[in-house]
Chain A
Amino acid sequence: MSDDNKELIRQAAEGSSQAFELLITPYTSRLFNTLMHILRCRESAEDVMQNALFNAYLKLDTYRGQSAFYTWLYRIAVNMALSYRRAAKPVVSINQQQEMTGQEVIDQNEAVGEALERKERAAVLHAAIGTLSEQYRSIIILREIEGCNYDTIAEILSISSGTVRSRLHRARLQLKGKLLPLLNEHPSLS
């Protein structure tokens, strides 16, 4: 943890919201991106993000600096996102799907049939990820999109590194089952 962060954490823990703002600002974009991939809904991601940051502020005095502040913050936010999903069981709307992929919602088969464009490939991919259970999806997102290593993922999700490895593999197997046939059928996708 950098000295700057230490000082900001100390000030924020003593009540300075401005110090807290400075502390979290470097992470907000990345964190929001992760929450969007988990929740697949901007409104939900914003709600969870706000609550997660507020909770982080309230819990700052429990942060011992044993892990990176980023990891600690992620742990709070990702766990809240997973809880939110479990509680809300949101259905991805057309608008949300559009935002996730940047284009109109398309039928998967049709998309594959016309899959020459990056956005269409993205639509297929996100649809496939969306079918994963949340424990697999969160691991895929943290690993493939956030680039976290196994230890960091383990810390964020409060599971062991061995569990990360096995779940990640199973998540990949599921994705492979959904995507590879399409990719093999349409090599231009890969």
Chain B
Amino acid sequence: MNDQINPNHEIDGEILSAYLDDELTTSERAVVKQALENSPQLRESLQELKIISDEIQCLAVEFHPNEQQLLETVITKIRDRNLSVHGQAPYSNVKIPAMARGWKQRLQIPALLALTAGVLAVLTLQFMPNDQSMTLVQTEMADESPSVESYDRVENNAELESAAGDSPATEGAGAQMGGMGGGGGALADNRAIQESQKHRDNANNLTAGQFADAAVDPPAPARTRASSFPIPRALAMSEETLGLDKPADDKTDVADVTYHIQVKQKDLPALLALITAHQNLVQNIQRKKVVGLSGGEKNLAETSKQRVTLSEPAENKVRKSTVNQIVMFRSNASQLAVLVAVLQKNPAATLSMNHLQRSALGNRLMAKDNDTSANVKNQNTTTIMSDTIFSIQVIAIP
């Protein structure tokens, strides 16, 4: 193959074949080209090879596997193998990616999920102020809070931004988280958003076991679910051992991006299954489901809806939708890209996103935009940090 072809070299079929495949060097090609010009027989041989090659390429039948079944079989086989080898559930030996180590060292899963839940509250309140789906989430959060007044205060973006501006956003989010779980009426006291210590107090209400339940078990009704967050001992422990008492650095664990995925109600199960199937790409995945409204919740929701309608008429489908599922997780840009690519393949889902950008100086949450029609591919990736909390809100529309 590496024998150089010189002008006196006999051009055989093998060389012609390689010429046809563009596998000769530039000088070799020149020699063959010259020979072709001088030899009708060579040209004919080349033409014959080309006909055969073209025929194969044109007529080749394309076969498609039953991809889903095939992958399922392989993955099942792998899981069985993992179980037999490790004697434990697969993935339990999966390490948190390098990008996540900073987090891992400072915080561990219970605290992270607690923070994540809090961030969800902030995200939801900030970016969907006129959305019925937000109303539902708020209602759920307010379920165990003492008063509608506190709910109203939290909903107020101006107040929230003000609060965030006075204290690290993470801490504000943590305070929200406490309220979200219904622990001790933290949400009722909106000052918690501004007080980092209060966040820790609320976060102290979380146990690892209950947190795991929240992440894995099927969603429970709001009231049941509400009790699954703040349990004091776990966070007391995590505060000591995980460094929660240390000030957050500039890579504060705050959600940056929210994805809204709109699907038809009938497509919801498939999409959720898809996200669940790829939760290895994310850390600390947590799912919530809004399953319905109690009487009090409904009233509150209606109150909120009326207020929304008055202040700003509904402009898009989101506002008429219901947040059926909220999936929150922590990821990095590359893993997120993979997940988004998977989700984008689902024709039923229309991805749109909201940005939350943290100000470098102010270390606070800022609403960058709320363009629900913006396509994911247009996202400004520079705003996505390597360690980032993302929120996926799956919104089912009729």
Contact = CB atoms under 8 A, between A and B. Distances in A.
B56 A145 contact: yes
Contacts of A165: 1, 14, 17-18, 23
A37 B56 CA distance: 12
B280 A16 contact: yes
Interface in B92-132: 92-95, 97
Interface string A1-31: 0011001101100111111111011001100
Contact of B75 (A14, A17, A129, A180): A17
A33 B82 CA distance: 29
A57 B61 CA distance: 29
A7 B334 contact: yes
Contact of A7 (B1, B53, B92, B335): B335
A53 interface: yes
Central interface residue in A7, A8, A121, by most chain B CB within 10 Å: A7
Nearest to B20: A172
A131 B151 CA distance: 77
B334 A28 contact: no
A162 B1 contact: yes
Chain B contact residues (Cβ within 8 angstroms of A): what range? 35 or more
A126 interface: yes
A54 B334 contact: no
A25 B281 CA distance: 15
Given A172-B52, A176-B49, A180-B52, A18 B93 contact: no
Central interface residue in A36, A101, A172, by most chain B CB within 10 Å: A172
B282 to A, nearest CB: 11
Interface string B1-35: 11000000000011001100101000000000000
A32 interface: yes
Given A46-B70, A49-B65, A50-B74, A169 B94 contact: no
Given A33-B64, A125-B56, A172-B53, 14 more contacts: A3-B334, A4-B334, A4-B337, A22-B338, A24-B74, A28-B70, A45-B65, A58-B81, A100-B61, A145-B60, A149-B23, A169-B14, A169-B18, A180-B48
Interface of A: 3-4, 7-8, 10-11, 14-22, 24-25, 28-29, 32-33, 36-37, 42, 45-46, 49-50, 53-54, 57-58, 99-102, 118, 121-122, 125-126, 129, 140, 143-145, 149-150, 160-162, 165-166, 168-169, 172-173, 175-176, 179-180, 183, 189-190
18 contacts: A4-B334, A17-B91, A18-B75, A18-B91, A18-B281, A19-B281, A21-B74, A24-B71, A50-B73, A50-B74, A57-B78, A58-B81, A101-B61, A122-B60, A145-B60, A168-B17, A172-B17, A173-B13
> Shortest 9 CB-CB distances between A and B: which pairs?
A162-B1, A32-B65, A18-B280, A36-B63, A169-B17, A144-B56, A169-B14, A122-B59, A17-B78
